[in-house]
């Protein structure tokens, strides 16, 4: 499943913050993988990992699904380049998140839509629902020239329950344009295309937070 050349995201947490490192898979063995020295995604600097450190690891497979697993630093090798040795649980122990498993929730997220080739003027709007695979957005009148099939660049602002703001830039395809039922408002449905595993995880986490929040509100109303 995992293959040489895949981008691997390592995530570690402490009480105050999350540390994220990006690396490439260089060699694969039955229960181990070798990666190049990872880079801190925030600082861009190479980091040196200590034996025994544990991480949540993620990568995107060739089927565009996200795969997650737990891993531990087992050592270092230099053959022919310096590499980090990580434990690997095996393909059958990976947690696979398929596109159809992405939770779609109602959410008003700030989003800006930019053209790739100047087909229209950029505009800012809101989503009406969102998932890790796509979103529905409100189309302003001046965006009426957008056609289904157009590939755009979407900039999203996710406000997490922790209070943190995360900014995501992702290419997206306009799947369809439709009129909201009982309204003069037009909407567009977007399919998110290539995305960093970390960004996919953020969207999954945001969707589940929103789902939990909505469920609590419904239970409160019933009470």
| Mean pLDDT (10-residue bins), the chain, 223 residues | 91 71 93 95 88 91 84 92 94 80 88 91 94 93 86 94 89 92 89 86 88 80 50
pTM of the model: 0.62
- Contact status, residue 60 vs residue 197, Cβ threshold 8 Å: yes
Provide the residue range defining the domain that includes 91: 7-97
* Res 171: pLDDT: 94
- The pLDDT score that the predictor gives to residue 72 is 95
Same domain, 62 and 91: yes
Pairing of strands 82-87, 39-40: unpaired
- 178 lies in the same domain as 129: yes
Neighbours of 102 (CB within 10 A): 19
Are 50 and 116 within one domain? Answer: no
Task: State the pLDDT at residue 223.
Answer: 44
Question: In angstroms, rounded to a whole number, what is the distance separating the alpha carbons of residues 14 and 50?
Answer: 16
Tell whether 90 and 28 lie within a shared domain.
yes
Are residues 203 and 130 in contact, defined by beta-carbon separation less than 8 angstroms?
yes
Helix (H, G, I), strand (E, B) or coil at 211: helix
Tell me, yes or no, whether 92 and 105 share the same domain.
no
* Alpha-carbon torsion angle 133, 21, 13, 52, nearest 10: 130
Residues 122 and 191 in one domain: yes
Residue 66: the pLDDT is 82
The answer for residues whose C-beta is within 8 angstroms of residue 184's C-beta and 6 or more apart is: none
Q: Taken in order 81, 87, 92, 97, is the CA torsion positive or negative? A: negative
217 and 134 in a single domain? The answer is: yes
Residue 177: per-residue pLDDT: 93
Residue at a domain's end among 42, 74, 97: 97
Strand 7-13 relative to strand 54-60, pairing = antiparallel
Residues 145, 207, single domain; the answer is yes
Count up the domains in the chain and report the number. 2
């Amino acid at each position: 499943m995992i293959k040489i050349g895949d981008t691997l995201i390592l995530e570690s947490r402490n009480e105050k913050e999350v540390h994220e490192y990006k690396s490439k898979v260089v060699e694969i063995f039955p229960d181990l993988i070798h990666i190049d020295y990872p880079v801190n995604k925030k600082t861009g600097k190479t980091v040196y990992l200590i034996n025994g450190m544990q991480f949540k690891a993620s990568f995107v497979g060739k089927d565009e699904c996200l795969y997650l697993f737990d891993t531990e630093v087992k050592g270092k090798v230099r053959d022919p380049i310096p590499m980090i040795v990580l434990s690997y649980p095996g393909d059958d122990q990976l947690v696979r998140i398929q596109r159809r498993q992405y939770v779609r929730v109602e959410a008003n997220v700030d989003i800006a839509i930019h053209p790739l080739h100047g087909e229209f003027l950029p505009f800012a709007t809101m989503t009406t629902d969102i998932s890790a695979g796509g979103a529905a957005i409100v189309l302003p009148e001046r965006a009426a020239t957008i056609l289904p099939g157009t590939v755009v660049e979407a900039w999203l602002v996710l406000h997490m329950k922790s209070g943190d703001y995360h900014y995501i830039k992702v290419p997206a395809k306009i799947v369809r344009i439709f009129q909201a039922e009982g309204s003069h408002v037009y909407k567009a449905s977007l399919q998110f295309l290539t995305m960093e595993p970390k960004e996919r995880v953020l969207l999954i986490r945001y969707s589940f937070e929103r789902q939990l929040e909505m469920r609590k509100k419904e239970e409160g109303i019933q009470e």
